[in-house]
Amino acid sequence: MKRPVRSRKLFERARQILPGGVDSPVRAFQAVGGVPHFIRRASGATIEDVDGNRFIDYVMSWGPLLHGHAPRGLVRAVAAAARLGTSFGAPTALELDLGERVRALMPSMERIRFVSSGTEATMSAVRVARACTRRDKIVKFAGCYHGHGDGFLVKAGSGATTLGVPTSPGVPAPVAADTLLARYNDIRSVEALFEAHPGTIAAVVVEPIAGNMGVVAPADGFLQGLRALATRHGALLIFDEVISGFRASAGGAQGIFGVTPDLTCLGKIIGGGFPVGAYGGRADIMDLVAPAGPVYQAGTLSGNPVAMTAGLWALARLAPALYRDLARRGAMLALGLAQAARAEGVRLQVNAFGSVLTPFFTDVPVRDYDSALTANTGAYATFFHGMLARGVYAPPSQFEAWFLSAAHTDRHVQQTIRAARGAMKEVARVI
């Protein structure tokens, strides 16, 4: 790998104009050390930085690039849409086409409102839930991240954990007081909250497959238990499928586990990687949203034609064969990482679900936030830089998911496993 000379100079400039030199915290490499690589282009499963280094990419814009970077068909479709206008601030038929496509894949979303990000979707869904139930409190799970809305920044996962700021300054105490914390995969902890706060909980918000404390799958019966508890206590169940939606399956995590939420939040994957999100659910609940109802939410770029076009292209190409191939390669990569660690005596747990995985540097099975925090972040940092030096771009944080795409081939995975064998030797020398 060439030294990141140009990246270093750009980062020096960036720190003079952007807080911490980045527009999203985890990009700054604070958790792993070193200088972030500035990317200038990408294609398929690879990215290239400004110094000319090429990497096999497992960040994939943090998940939405299910079909890889800049697939030709998507680029052509978006270019054609942009020539007709990038944003109108008025309705288009494209919004209806994509909305109907999403509803066909996720029937629980009887009504849908497009927004511009996953954060906007989750914030809006909670507002609707509070209006519907006329209650204020929400239940979230330690280590789950639902965007940077005030009420969610209480033991949030991924970037917040990476930076050691599990509760952000600037969040008013009364707002934080309305967020109740439960343990992921621990249904009893949720029961206890309903017992302690009778008649005051508006919604339970959950990542049905956790991806922001690293990948953690739901235990048998966990999601079903949440559905039963929410129904029994008159609360809504909100699935944050910003990561799992259309990546876990064409019907999202809810399609795999057979649990129907009242509201669902989706993110960039429904826009083919463009800035877009959506929330939706039962018609009677969503009809509370303005202008149909009194719950106000608006956005100038919501449903813009470029993002809608990209989403239509991406969702039209979801097929059983795609998910079979992704799952097979995900399992191949997970096994290869585990074997590379075992060969060097490195303690590693690899959590994988289809095309997403996280290698945790711990010997403790990871099933919730507390067990995720047993991971050796120093070992991960060594591993990360070892992989980077060998041409593999992994997430610059122990607590993030790795993502495969349709553009990743068996050869890419085999190259990654070979790189991991070398990187694990470096980890073994420092732990």
pLDDT value at position 163? 39
| CATH number of the domain residue 407 falls in | 3.90.1150.10
**The two structure tokens encoding residue 299:** 């956005």
Q: At what angle do helices 93-105 and 305-315 cross, to 10 degrees?
A: 30
- Distance, in Å, from the CA atom of 203 to the CA atom of 135, rounded to the nearest integer, reads 9
Tokens of 259: 């649990």
Check if the beta carbon of residue 82 is closer than 8 Å to that of residue 306: yes
Distance from the Cα of residue 416 to its chain's centroid = 22
Q: Do 376 and 288 share a structural domain? A: no
Q: Do 333 and 365 fall into the same domain?
A: yes
For residue 239, the domain's CATH number is 3.40.640.10
My answer on whether 153 and 300 are in the same domain is yes
Does the annotation count 145 as an active-site position? yes
Claim to verify: residue 303 and residue 325 sit in the same structural domain: no
Domain-ending residue, one of 268, 287, 315: 315
Domain count, the chain: 2
46 vs 27, 59, 71, 217, 412, CA distance in Å? 17, 10, 12, 27, 9
Q: What is the residue type of 132?
A: C
One domain for residues 350 and 261: no
Assess whether 39 and 121 both reside in one domain.
Answer: no
The pair of three-digit structure tokens given for residue 233, joined into one six-digit string: 């206590």
Complete edge-to-edge strand list for the sheet that includes strand 392-393: 39-43, 46-49, 54-57, 392-393
Residue 338, sorted as left (phi over 0), alpha (psi -120 to 50) or beta, turns out to be: alpha
Residues 404 and 310 in one domain: no
Identify whether the C-beta of residue 366 lies closer than 8 Å to the C-beta of residue 216: yes
Distance of CA 44 to the CA centre of its chain: 20
What is the model's pLDDT at position 155? 58
Tell me whether the omega of the peptide bond preceding residue 291 falls within 30 degrees of 0, making it cis.
yes
Give the helix/strand (H/E) hosting 92.
none
Range of the domain at 310: 72-315
Q: Which of 49, 57, 186, 240 is catalytic?
A: 240
Q: Which of 145, 184, 323, 369 is catalytic?
A: 145
CA distances from 349 to 200, 320, 360 (A): 38, 28, 5
Query: What backbone phi and psi angles, to 5 degrees, belong to 50?
Result: -70, -15
Are 393 and 419 in the same domain? Answer: yes
Distance in angstroms (rounded) separating the CA atoms of residues 380 and 397: 8
Q: Which pLDDT score is estimated for 156?
A: 52
Question: Are 183 and 370 a contacting pair, CB within 8 Å?
Answer: yes
How long, in residues, is the chain?
Answer: 431
Indicate the residue type of 96. Answer: L
For residues 308 and 276, give the distance between their C-alpha atoms in angstroms, rounded to a whole number.
8
Which of 268, 279, 368, 369 is an active site residue?
A: 268
**Final residue belonging to a domain, choices 266, 294, 315:** 315
pTM of the shown model:
0.94
Please indicate, yes or no, whether residues 56 and 77 belong to a single structural domain of this protein: no
Q: Are residues 287 and 353 in the same domain?
A: no
The reply to whether omega before 172 is within 30° of 0 (cis) is no
CB 96 within 8 A of CB 86: no
Tokens of 228: 């039963």
Q: How many CB atoms lie within 10 A of CB 74?
A: 22
Q: Indicate the DSSP class of residue 203.
A: E
Digit-by-digit pLDDT tens for the chain (431 residues) are 899 999 999 999 999 999 999 999 999 999 999 999 999 999 999 999 999 999 999 999 999 999 999 999 999 999 999 999 999 999 999 999 999 999 999 999 999 999 999 999 999 999 999 999 999 999 999 999 898 877 787 755 454 443 334 466 777 777 778 899 999 999 999 999 999 999 999 999 999 999 999 999 999 999 999 999 999 999 999 999 999 999 999 999 999 999 999 999 999 899 888 999 999 999 999 999 999 999 999 999 999 999 999 999 999 999 999 999 999 999 999 999 999 999 999 999 999 999 999 999 999 999 999 999 999 999 999 999 999 999 999 999 999 999 999 999 999 999 999 999 999 999 999 98
Which pair of tokens denotes residue 207? 């990542």
Residue 140: strand pairing partners? 181
Domain match, 197 and 307 both: yes
235 with 167, same domain?
yes
- Spatial CB neighbours of 21, under 8 Å, sequence gap ≥ 6: 11, 14, 15, 28, 36
What is the spatial distance between Cα 191 and Cα 68, in angstroms, rounded to a whole number? 41
Q: Which of 251, 280, 315 marks a domain boundary?
A: 315
Residue 409 Cα distances to 233, 243, 244, 320, 401, angstroms: 47, 22, 21, 17, 19
Q: Which residue type sits at 412? A: H
Q: Where are the alpha helices (DSSP H) in 134-198?
A: 159-162, 173-177, 187-196
